[in-house]
Structure 1
C-alpha cells in the first residue's frame, strides 16, 4: 500500500483558504460560502453556540461583516494541515477585524481549527471553530494577545 501523496491536496486546500481570505476582504459572503459543505457545523467566537448548515453560517457572516465597517482584516498565519484521501483537519491563527475610514484598527487575534472533506473531488470546509482565549477572573476575551 502506498502512502497518500498530499502535495496536490495541500496546494488545493491552501488555495481554498487564500480564496476564503480574499472573499472576506471583498465582503463577498456568497463567494466565501461556496467553500463550505451544505451540512457544515461551525462554532464562532461570537454566539450563538453553534451554526448548522451553510445558510445559517452565511447569515452569521453577514452580521459579523455588518459589525465591522471599513476595510476588512482577515490575515491567516501558521496554517498547519493534515490531509488524508477524503478528510483532513487544520488550524491557524487569524487576525480579524476592520480598519475604519479614519484609520482606526479594531481587530484581534483568534484561533481557528477546521475539519475538511473532499466532495466531488473538491476540498470543502465541513467544520470550523473560531475562539479567543479569555481571562477567567474577568471572563473577558483576550483579543490583544499576539503570536
Structure 2
C-alpha cells in the first residue's frame, strides 16, 4: 500500500503538533487548527467553537501539567480525498506529577482536516474516554 503525498503532509503536521504538545508550546499547538474549528475535548466543556476558544482551553490544560505533557499516538490511520481528510488513533495522554511520575490515560482521537492555502488544518477534533454506563465513571485504566 503506497502512502499519498497528502498523508505524508498530514503525518508531518501531526508529528509537529505532538512535539508542541509535549513541550507545552500552545502557539505551536494551535497553528494546526483552522479559525472555524469545532472541538470536542474530553475535559471542561462540551464543545469549543473557534480557534480562540480552543487556544484558551489549551492554555488552561497546560496549567494542569506544569511538569510536562505526555502524548503518544498509537495505530494512526489517515484517509484523504481531495482537500478533505480525517484521522483517528488511540493516544496515551497525560502529564507528570511533582515526583516525575507519569499520570496518563488512553484516549480516543479523531480529527477532520481541510487543506487551505496549501496547509492541512484541523477543522474538527474529538478527544474522548470510554466510561462505565452503570457507574457513570470514566475508565481511565482502559488500555489498548
Distance in structure 2 (CA, Å) of the matches to 1:71 and 1:38: 26
Report the 3-state secondary structure (helix = DSSP H, G, I; strand = E; otherwise coil) of the residue aligned with 2:66.
coil
- 1:106 alignment counterpart: 103
CA shift digits 1:37-86 (9 cap, x unpaired)? 00000001113111000010011111111112312101111110110110
> Residue 124 of structure 1 aligns with which residue?
121
1:30 CA displacement: 0.6
SS of the aligned residue for 2:70 comes to strand
Contact 1:23/1:32 (<8 A) preserved:
yes
Indicate the residue corresponding to 1:27 in structure 2: 24
**Regions of 4+ moved over 2 Å:** none
Structure 2: gaps (5+ residues): none
**TM score, norm. by length of structure 2:** 0.95
Asked if 1:84 is matched to 2:71, the reply is no
The answer to whether the aligner puts 1:67 opposite 2:59 as a matched pair is no
List alignment gaps of at least 5 residues for structure 1.
none
2:37 aligned with 1:47: no
Cα-Cα RMSD:
1.3
**2:24–2:68 Cα contact (<8 Å) kept:** no
Work out the CA distance in 2 between the residues paired with 1:72 and 1:33: 16
Deviations 1:93-123 (A, max 9, x none): 1111112241222110000111100001111
What is the TM-score when the length of structure 1 is the normalising length?
A: 0.93
Aligned partner of 1:7 in structure 2 is 4
How many residues in Structure 1 have an aligned counterpart in Structure 2?
143
